[in-house]
Structure 1
Amino acid sequence: MDQKPTLEEIRKAPKVLLHDHLDGGLRPETIVDLARESGYDRLPSTDPDNLRQWFHEAADSGSLERYLETFAHTVGVMQTREALYRVALECAEDLAADGVVYAEVRFAPEQHTSAGLGLDEVVQAVLDGFKDGSARYGIRVGTLLTAMRHQARSMEIAELAVRYRDVGVVGFDIAGAEAGYPPTRHLDAFEYLQRENAHFTIHAGEAFGLPSIWQAIQWCGADRLGHGVRIIDDIQVSPDGTAKLGRLAAYVRDKRIPLEMCPTSNLQTGAAPSIAEHPIGLLRRLYFRVTVNTDNRLMSNTSLSEEFAKLVDAFGYGWDDLQWFTVNAMKSAFIPFDERLALINGVIKPGFARLKWRAGLP
């Protein structure tokens, strides 16, 4: 077994993040500033420390619906070009400071138009922030455009994603409450994306069960699954530890469909009972294409390094496991193959090799 990596050591590792929401990762200080500048007067507190605590406690409810309500405040202050640019720039800075070398950050353009911005203006503001942040802080950030599953604008957002795919948008996503809003409601958007050779992921198997995963893959053709924790319901584990996979779970593993797992967030929304009981442990043991992610860094009061550290404590993971998760994520990114390979061989593997060498490991 590898020597147990510490949180500070993990922060130095070159990490890859595939599932992170822009409106779920704001700095509390920035929220207060933007609220004051825009006249937004509905914050539960204007003290950054109290506000941080409020977000964490409000999101820690065991309900996806209650968790999603916290976004009213972050979205509420992200309605101008200046605000969107600042949030994107600071996102790149914060991720780079945590050792992330490649990230795909998602947001829903339709939620940022209440002050008069058009969809193209919203997307351009975020792309400009990420572009400047990437250059300044030495991180590469790709953008996913998200459509809200309870709305009817998914085709419009899909077309927007295709229009901007050569200048920073790497894919498409749908998000929001799963129950009552199956991904098949947006089938026309997914068929359009497939015709355009575009990449997309779908939030599925978090608050809802196996049917949402089945629909996302077999009806909609998802390249990746956002969360996907309920795939565990299609796996039977016997007392001796052997596992029998159902047809859907076997298909997901056989096809190497990436699972964008977010351990802390899954606890908050009730999708998993504890880190130690999170399905990620079994899925890693069974060699599913598992990746580790943050989901919403503000609401979950977390970082990618902290997510890894929690898994180290819960499952005894060592450097080889953390590298395995990281390479999985880089393999699953929505950028061209040669660029993924260059990051794996030129940045990720050498970075982990240095950390293992410092720890006196082969």
Structure 2
Amino acid sequence: MNKKIKNIFWQTCTKYLQNTIPMKNFIEYICPLQAYIEEKTLILLSPNNYIKEKIEKNYLSIIKNVIQNISDDNYKIKIIIGSIKQIKQTKQNIEKNRKNELKNVNNFAKSAIFMTIKNPGILYNPIYIYEEKNTNKNNIINFIINNLTNSNKNVKYTIIKNDIINLENLFKNNKLLIIEEINLIKINLKSQQILQKTLELIIKNNIQLIITANENFNKLKNINKNTKKLIENGLIIKIIKNEKYTKIKKQISIDNIIKNTLAYYNMDIEKIKNKKRQKNIVLVRQIIFYLCKTLTNKTFSELSPLLGEYTNSNIMYSYKKIKILIEKDINIKNDIQNIKNNIIK
């Protein structure tokens, strides 16, 4: 289906929807949507999570019925946050982004990572990745996961945050295991024995193990010598501090953060400054506080008068709340990343 036909298809859908949905709701929730078709899937692009949730809750079944009425093809519907422009830009920058994901490691480490993707569990196993402050080792982890799973859809992986006791049960059905922040995990004598025994089995069975930490490998104190020796036989990668990001961080203004966040959620500043407890307004306010704290060097005290008189506790609560939501809610995580991208541009 060419681009012109795709556009006509969604335009036809919206004409039917206009006659089905109250005009106020149609303007507020349907009009902001963009759409494109990919492999028998109609992908609806929502400008923000608020509209996405409204569509999913109230209008998705109506849209499905409309599509069934106007097309003989059995289209699936997928709703994501973004725009056609962002989709195009993302596709154009895939290769560039892949290179950037590895920009903080030396050439040998890059080569080793690419070889690991081609030969997981064989050449460099385990891989221990540690970082200095203000760097992001997650880029490398995501790079490895994405490339492994893209090249082989059957690749399964598990991320372990503190469950060392169950490690021996977790590794059996996976091709990739990731132990996050090992230096922060409390490892007792029993866990030490399990860790060492399981590492030996993982290496023997060519299951790729990646261990991350915020500490130099030589300074690790919570694992025994035998386990350290097993890790040392693999590959140790140090992530270098990204000075470019540090400079960008210092240049980002509070006004720019507020402006981009409000634009993303199609909301005006007066609503945010109003102390109403409406859920969507509170969320946007909390995101602004979170981004201000994350992307600038401002203290909680300096951010207090930003959107009216809020206490340090209010700001701190907002920051922690969004930090937790990012871990739990993929939509919020995507929202935050999209806003960050807009700000840094």
Q: TM-score, normalised by structure 2?
A: 0.26
Of the two structures, which has the highest relative contact order with CA contacts closer than 8 Å and spacing of 6 or more?
1
TM-score, length basis structure 1? 0.25
